[in-house]
Structure 1
Amino acid sequence: MYRFLLTPRWWGINVFVLLAIPFCVFMGSWQLSRFEDRMADHDRATSQVATDAGDPARPLADLLPVDKQTSGAQATATGRYGKQLLVPGRELDGRNGYYVLTLLRTDGGKALPVVRGWLPGTADAAKAPAAPSGQVTVTGALQASEQPGENGVSAQGGLPAGQASAISAASLVNLVSYDVYDAWVTLNTGDSGMKAVPAAAAPDTGLNLKAFQNLGYTGEWFVFAGFVVFMWFRLIRREVEFVRDAELGLLPEPEPKPGDQPASV
């Protein structure tokens, strides 16, 4: 009854199944490993932020460009504060508020965005403390530039003057007339009574949407493998029923085609 499995048609079906199942399992395992790697990166980045907080500060130039190794490291820079901006829509300790961001004009000509602290409520320039005058030296955790769509950061647009949606050179360069470092620093101690903003893990190391996409793809590939097996058994069952009906003579007579001559009596 199962001799049909040796026909060329079923050889093709069987070869496809034998190749499709290992491929789906391999892809599912690979996506699962990507999710596990992201979890490991998240754990390492979180522990590194805590470790870096106790390390001695190094000059800003020694830590650029920011990567997974230098993100969260203690950086120091000297200059004079310039333009001040507010970054609304930032939560801290479960409360909504805004960052007070001031650009530090360094001797190299570029400006370093410095988050001097966080204030609760709606962004209000009148409530934001003015930056210290004269030459200052700042020390804080180095952070990579934010990207729209990352960590809840929205694209620039529709904000009042004096506000920015993302702390990045690409956004800030349109608001000032000088070059801006592609990084920023959050002070270890909030300035003028403001609350300090804790350092975040390096970009693309947290359990973000990409991580859970990998987990979702893992499930999809294993479902595909199960579906291939299910369809293979379903096709075999239907073929067995067809063969059994043919042996019992239960198949309907084929309808005559146009032009066929009726059988003679």
Structure 2
Amino acid sequence: MMLRPRWIGALVFALLLAGGFAWLGQWQLERAVEAGKVVEIPSETVLPLAKVAKPGGPIADTATGQLISVTGSFVPTDYQLVQGRLNHGTAGWWVVAHATVPGAEEGARPVALAVARGWAADEATAKSVMARLADEPAAQQEIVGRLLPTEGPEVPSDKKHPTAMTTMSVAALYNLWTGVDGMDVYSAYVVEKTPPAGLTKIDSPPPIQERTLNWLNIFYAAEWIIFAGFAVFFWYRLVKDAKEKEDELRELAAGTAAPLGKVE
């Protein structure tokens, strides 16, 4: 039955139709991929801090990981160590500073900013560099680095060192800084791009770029695939129905089928 010329021709037509539907489905998937390109976030373009974030509240998602620059001075007495910080998979110490930077608006009061200046593999090196930096006079300088949101404070597990810090918590640092009563503070910190001598640059990669996904195109692609399958199934149903009709006519002709309309 299926080998008859007209059904072979119908099969070829159904396959061509299914192929066309499949091509349309692939085209829709390609459109979904094109529409799902990476959302470019210019995090590697250094922007002024005042244009990226404001003090007193959480930073926006678009500001997370942004390279910024700001002019400020480091407070010599407010250096701290944050321990247990991984740098390329190795635990060590961060040397953290308190920087005083200008307010966002002209004439505004200075604002406090936490800066992670660099990483050391051992505590002795971190303390040595921190002591050297604390001896340097406060001077205005440009601070360039990656802006990251504050981390939550953690209670030290080592009771022998109750003031030890393991997270970059701006709130915890603020309580240790001097001369900040009533001063605004950024709820974020900066990982300095170029560390001071004696410290290693903190590994701070760009943020993972987001990728959008066009679900409408994916839905259309699925529809075309269904249509392709239906084209072949429709040919199969036509052949099956034709065969059943021929079998019924053959049985009627042979006298084996019950006469139409006869009630037994």
Q: Deviations over 1:156-181 (max 9, x none)?
A: 6576554354x5xxx42255336531
Amino acid of the residue matched to residue 141 of structure 1?
V
For structure 2, which runs of at least 5 residues remain unmatched after alignment? 1-5, 8-20, 103-108, 158-162, 249-261
The within-5 A match list for 1:107-256 is: 108=109, 110-120=111-121, 129-130=130-131, 131-133=133-135, 135-146=138-149, 160=157, 162-165=164-167, 167=168, 171-173=169-171, 176-177=174-175, 179-191=184-196, 193-197=198-202, 200-201=205-206, 203=207, 206=208, 208=209, 210-211=210-211, 214=213, 224=222, 227-249=225-247
CA distance in 2, matches of 1:120, 1:221: 52
Give how far 1:60 is off: 5.0
Matched, 1:102 2:104: no
Equivalent residue in structure 1 for 2:35, among 24, 33, 38: 33
Report which of the two structures shows the higher radius of gyration computed on alpha carbons: 2
Farther-moved stretch of structure 1 (110-119 vs 241-250): 241-250
Pairwise CA RMSD? 5.0
Contact 1:80 1:106 in 2 (8 A): no
Give how far 1:77 is off: 0.8
Q: Deviations over 1:52-78 (max 9, x none)?
A: 5xxxxx97546645867x932432212
- After TM superposition, the score normalised by the length of structure 2 is 0.52
Q: Which residue of 2 aligns with 1:258?
A: none
User: Residues 30, 147 of structure 1: CA spacing in aligned structure 2 closer, same or farther, 3 A cutoff?
Assistant: farther
What's the secondary structure of 2:36's corresponding residue?
Answer: helix
Taking only the aligned residue pairs, the percentage that are identical comes to: 14
Higher relative contact order (CA 8 A, sep 6+): 2
Contact 1:72 1:199 in 2 (8 A): no
For structure 1, which runs of at least 5 residues remain unmatched after alignment? 3-17, 53-57, 149-154, 251-262
Equivalent residue in structure 1 for 2:70, among 61, 65, 75: 75
- After TM superposition, the score normalised by the length of structure 1 is 0.52
User: Residues 192, 236 of structure 1: CA spacing in aligned structure 2 closer, same or farther, 3 A cutoff?
Assistant: same
CA distance in 2, matches of 1:247, 1:173: 83
User: Residues 139, 22 of structure 1: CA spacing in aligned structure 2 closer, same or farther, 3 A cutoff?
Assistant: same
Query: How many residues are paired up?
Result: 207
Amino acid of the residue matched to residue 120 of structure 1?
A
